[in-house]
Amino acid sequence: MVRFISFIVLFLLCVASSSPTKVVDVETICKKAKNYSFCITLLKSKAGGAGGDLVSLASYTIGVARTDVSKTINLIKTLIAKSGGNPKALSHYKNCLDHFGMDEGALGEIVEAQQLLKKGDYGGVNAHASGILTDVDGCLSGDSPTDPPFHDTSSLPKYAAIVEQVSQIILIITNFLLH
Ligand SMILES: *[C@@H]1O[C@H](CO)[C@@H](O)[C@H](O)[C@H]1NC(C)=O
């Protein structure tokens, strides 16, 4: 009888500790991504394997986004330093720095998303991930709907595309967490 009760207790403990974690395999997540192989490569680069629950995958992916945004900010700063003689380029890159930066830019969104994930506010994380997409678009297409976008021949569009893809993966993971 004592054995039986301890078995029941153990069973209940297992149920209690496992129910909040949601596990979806990486292939299922990446089928929804724009670029399947990019997504698989990213999620499988997670230390300890691609397995694990959605929250740890979200946390990992937000960390990757943070690194990619920081790299992009460094690139933009270099481009600003180089475009002294070109007012159009200068204003384009300064606009991009605002859109990627900490104050109301992509980096700020990511910092918020990291805090909200810890609180379990997946809707908030989702909103900030789409905020990053808006920021990236604001950099690439510029703020004026009438002016044509700056023809950027630097590596910035490539960097921005990576930030975009990583943010879309955050959206996919948080959508699984929400539904
Ligand atoms: C998808 O991502 C891979 C990198 O993982 C890249 O080599 C490939 O060009 C990308 N494909 C498209 C269509 O963007």
Within-domain flag for 149: yes
Q: Which atom of ligand 1 is nearest to the CA of 42?
A: 5
> Which residue from 26, 37, 163 has its CB within 8 A of the most atoms of ligand 1, so it is best to mutate?
37
Say what the pTM is: 0.86
CATH number at residue 135: 1.20.140.40
Residue 3 lies in a domain: no
Residue 49 maps to a domain: no
Q: How confident is the model over 122-158, as pLDDT tens digits?
A: 999 999 999 999 999 999 998 777 778 899 999 999 9
Residue 85 maps to a domain: yes
Which residue among 35, 158, 164 is best mutated to probe the pocket of ligand 1, counting the most ligand atoms within 8 A of its Cβ? 35
Question: Considering the domain boundaries, does residue 121 fall inside one?
Answer: yes
Q: Given this model, what pLDDT does residue 23 score?
A: 83
**DSSP code at position 86:** -
Number of structural domains the chain divides into: 1
Structural domain contains residue 76 = yes
Each residue of 47-81: b (16+ CB within 10 Å) or e? Answer: eeebebebbebbbbbbebbbebbeebbebbeebbe
**For residue 62, what are the domain limits?**
26-44+54-178
